[in-house]
Amino acid sequence: MGGNTRCRAIGIVLCVGLVAVGGTARADPTIQPPIAAAGKPQTFTLVVPRERVGGILRMVELYPPPDLAIKSFSETDGWHRDWTIVSMQVPVQKATWTRVDAANQDPYYAKAATTNPNTDSGSAMRFRFVAAPAEATPYPVEVRETYSIGKVIHWRGTTSYAFPASPPGATIRPPIVLGSTTTIGGRLYGWIALAVGCIVAICVAVGLSVRARAVSRSS
C-alpha cells in the first residue's frame, strides 16, 4: 500500500473513530463494519439507537450514495421495508423501514412514551443489507429518523438525496461515514488505525473534561 493510500486510510478511520465516539453519547446511527473492502459484496448492519425524544421511532430511511450499490436486504422483525431506486442524473437509492406494530395508533402507548423515554424498549434497531463499495474511498451515508411526535433527525451532508425533503425544524447532523480499502490487508490496517483513532478521541475527550473541571474549581 502506497504512502498516499495509507495516509488516506488513516484519515478515513480517524474520522470514523471520532464520529463513533461522539455518536455514542448522542445515540447516532452507525454502520458495522465501519470499513469495507472495495469491489466485494459484504453484509453491513445499520445500527439505529433510539433517541430520548419522548416519542416512538416509527420510520427509518437510508440513502446510500450511488457508488455503494445495495444488493439485498435481510428481514427485520417488527418493521416493513420498501426499497426504491429513482433514475435521475444519478441513481438515487432509498430504503424505508416502517414500524408495523400497533403501538403508533395506541394512545396509551404514545402517552407512556411521552412520560417515560424508555418505553420504546431502549435497545438499538438493526437493519442488515448486502452492498458492494465500488472504490476505496469514504462513503457518506444519509439516515433519517421520524418519531411519532413529529420529531425528525436527519444525518446528511451538504448535498442530500432524501425525498421528500426533511420538514422545517428537523435536526440536521453529519452523515455516517463508511470507509473502504482496496484489499483485505488494507482492511486489517484500517481496523488498527481505527482503534488508534478511537483511543486518541477518548484521550482528547478525557483531557477536555479534566481541564473543564480544573477551571471550574479555580473559579
pTM here is 0.67
pLDDT for 12 equals 43
- Measured distance CA(16)–CA(184) in Å, rounded: 18
- Measured distance CA(214)–CA(58) in Å, rounded: 43
Q: Tell me the average pLDDT of the chain.
A: 75
Strands 139-147 and 79-87: unpaired
Beta-carbon count within 10 A of 164 CB: 5
pLDDT for 101 equals 75
Q: Is the pLDDT of residue 52 over 50?
A: yes
Q: Are the beta carbons of 141 and 64 closer than 8 angstroms?
A: yes
Set of cell numbers at residue 19: 464520529
Question: H-helix or E-strand containing 11?
Answer: helix 3-26
Give the residue, 169 or 86, on which the prediction is more confident. 169
Give the residue, 29 or 182, on which the prediction is more confident. 29
pLDDT for 195 equals 54
Q: What percent of the chain has pLDDT over 70?
A: 61
Q: Is the pLDDT of residue 215 over 70?
A: no
- The CATH number of the domain covering residues in 3-218: 2.60.40.2230
pLDDT for 9 equals 44
| Residue-wise pLDDT tens digits, 150-198 | 999 999 998 898 999 999 999 999 999 999 887 544 445 454 545 544 5
11-25, 140-154, 169-183: segment of lowest average pLDDT: 11-25
DSSP 3-state of 137: coil
pLDDT for 161 equals 87
Give the residue, 6 or 140, on which the prediction is more confident. 140
Counting every residue written for the chain, the total comes to 219
Q: Is the pLDDT of residue 41 over 90?
A: yes
Q: Is the pLDDT of residue 82 over 80?
A: yes
Q: Is the pLDDT of residue 93 over 80?
A: yes
Mean pLDDT of 51-66: 89
Q: Is the pLDDT of residue 116 over 70?
A: no
Q: Is the pLDDT of residue 209 over 90?
A: no
Backbone phi and psi for residue 193, each to the nearest 5 degrees, phi listed first: -65, -35
